[in-house]
Structure 1
Amino acid sequence: MLKGRRGGGAGQITRGYRFPMDLRRLEYFMVLAEELHFRRAAERLHISQPGLSQQIRVLEKDLGVSLFERSAQGVVLTDPGFVLLKEGAHLLQQAESVAAHVRAAGKGIAGILRVVHSRSLTGDVPDEIVRRFRMSNPRVEIIVETAWTTRNIAMLRAGEVDAAFVRMPLLEVGDLSQLTLGHTELAAAIPADLPLARKRILQTADLRGIPVVTFPREQAPGYFDHILSTVWGDEGPLISTTEPDPEHLLAAVAAGAGVCVFDVQRALKLRPKGVVVRRFTPSLSADFGLLWSPHRMSSLLESFIAEASLARPREP
């Protein structure tokens, strides 16, 4: 998240401080130090010889030392001149590096980007988006957090993150912008000793009347309502308990508290002993996407959104 910052810290410049050297004059010095001849150096720099001589004198005055010994045969470096020749090259390289970083930031390829994942979402697509963005923008520092969709939206509104991966549908987004990235398949995690576990493929009617383990609705209300309406319809589930995260949900299933419906890949990855995962026919799915505030746009965020849009499913 790119925030305005006041100057400060170890590199703070004391008020009234004047840097003793002009970078343009340093460049003039470097060319003269290579040529050791005012006329040739002036020709390379495309300035007049008197103008070059004047700029070198100003530089010497600023530093309080003589950089060259002048004679009818030309000029030679003094000891301070040799020091500046060595150190000046590093200084010019550093100055160019700073300029390049600033230009890169203006093009959206440098800075800090804060992204938050959804805890209920399989990480493959979001992780791939972040990975590709990192590869394309190596100067960007990406700080990734993980929370539930409701918390992600709150962090986005508060300006704590720049973009949020969320479960859809979203009941209310207000002035936030959203991009649907795809969908994940839903499956049922079932206690292995439940007779239902013997079925290889389920229909939604198979779960009617069986206790259900789920996450609290306030964590992702749109996603919660989507699962309940898709699987149980108007009848609704028999919720036996709620758990705060996928790990605890599956642990509750393993303990026989009930069945749970969520992301099939997440269920297969985290499945503990005593739990089987069964798909539905017809298959069930839930969308996911990216959310951001149009009022906090930056070229960096625009680049990230463009990268994320490449993950969207192609129209047939």
Structure 2
Amino acid sequence: MDLRRLGYFVVLAEELHFRRAAERLHIAQPGLSQQIRVLERELEATLFERSTAGVALTDAGRILFEESVPLLHEIERIKNRVRAAAQGQTGLLRIVHTRSLADGLPYDLVRGFRLSHPGAEIAVEIAWTTRNVAMLRSAEADAAFVRLPLADATDLRVLPLGSTELVAALPSAHPLARRRTLRFADLRGTDVVSWPRDQAPGYFDYVQSTVWGEEPPTVSASEPDPEHLLAAVAAGVGVCVLDMQRARKLRPRGVVLRRFARPALSAEFGLAWNPGRVPPLLDAFLTHCRNARDTPPDHDT
């Protein structure tokens, strides 16, 4: 049964008038009459009683009308769902954050995409850069926020999104805590609390080489995330260098934060994905992130 022809029938059944139905359908009246006759032949049933008084549904026509209306609505619903999926409006998108960068722009990007795609299911996890890369490769995640530069990731695509400032976290009783800003050289010879290099080798090497140069620091403790890094600093184990926004949010009592003298120390971040797997919803999220990156932030005047 032709669905377009069935739609013609429903309109005629609602109007019970060939001319008005043809006008609603934007077709010629003879063409509508022909389509109804074809439908009646297909069903081997008379659907309308035609008389000088007008048009009326037969018993067969009433049954077809009762069945056709919900059927056509369901078909339209299916078509809309398929179109939405093809346009990246629905489906499941799995995003993983990195522990050193769960706030700020990454959070705003995911939140904004959720609001603009209410029909999509957005599943969010948090790990670290190396784990995020592994999740992309194993298809456990569709997109991952990562610290840059990435090491050994030529099979992935990366969209640079920006950078964040890094600061030094010090025990409040540390001699350097009396200074307003620090130089990189101030931290040399000081015990350091750090995250494991294998969590983000490129990011780790960048911070180490920028702050300590060719002489690596003495690492007194290794902690897995900003919360534990700051707790170790508060306990007097050493100092650490980490993202300023995360440090301000998580800073416990007994820890002070000091910025580096200009030029400030910053580290880049971006969004990574596997170019071999780009479903429509991920493509829509990538477009969303590109647009956000290319749009300058609003400033109060």
Identity of aligned residues (%): 57
Following superposition, the deviation at residue 134 of structure 1 comes to 2.9
Greater displacement, 138-147 / 229-238 = 138-147
User: Normalising to structure 2: TM-score of the pair?
Assistant: 0.84
Q: Does 1:123 align with 2:81?
A: no
Greater displacement, 146-155 / 45-54 = 45-54
Q: How far apart in 1 are the matches of 2:152 and 2:202?
A: 9
Q: 2:74 aligns with which of 79, 84, 94?
A: 94
Following superposition, the deviation at residue 200 of structure 1 comes to 1.5
Following superposition, the deviation at residue 192 of structure 1 comes to 1.1
Greater displacement, 126-135 / 175-184 = 126-135
Unaligned stretches of 5+ residues in structure 1: 1-20
Greater displacement, 128-137 / 84-93 = 84-93
Q: Which amino acid is 2:256 matched to?
A: V
2:93–2:121 Cα contact (<8 Å) kept: yes
Runs (4+) of structure 1 moved beyond 6 Å?
Answer: none
Following superposition, the deviation at residue 194 of structure 1 comes to 1.7
Q: 1:195 to 1:22 in 2, by over 3 A?
A: same
Task: Report the counterpart of residue 264 of structure 1 in structure 2.
Answer: 244
Task: Report the counterpart of residue 299 of structure 2 in structure 1.
Answer: none
Q: Which amino acid is 2:267 matched to?
A: A
2:40–2:47 Cα contact (<8 Å) kept: no
2:48–2:61 Cα contact (<8 Å) kept: no
Following superposition, the deviation at residue 98 of structure 1 comes to 2.0
Following superposition, the deviation at residue 311 of structure 1 comes to 3.8
Q: 1:84 to 1:50 in 2, by over 3 A?
A: closer
* Superposition map of 1:85-234 within 5 A: 85=65, 88-234=68-214
Q: How far apart in 2 are the matches of 1:250 and 1:280?
A: 18
Q: Does 1:53 align with 2:37?
A: yes
Secondary structure (helix, strand or coil) at the match of 1:296 reads coil
Secondary structure (helix, strand or coil) at the match of 2:237 reads coil
Alpha-carbon RMSD: 2.7
Q: 1:189 to 1:78 in 2, by over 3 A?
A: farther
Q: How far apart in 2 are the matches of 1:252 and 1:304?
A: 37
Q: Does 1:286 align with 2:259?
A: no
Following superposition, the deviation at residue 176 of structure 1 comes to 1.0
Task: Report the counterpart of residue 295 of structure 1 in structure 2.
Answer: 276
Following superposition, the deviation at residue 118 of structure 1 comes to 0.9
Q: Which amino acid is 2:181 matched to?
A: I
How many residue pairs get aligned? The number is 290
User: Normalising to structure 1: TM-score of the pair?
Assistant: 0.81
Following superposition, the deviation at residue 79 of structure 1 comes to 7.1
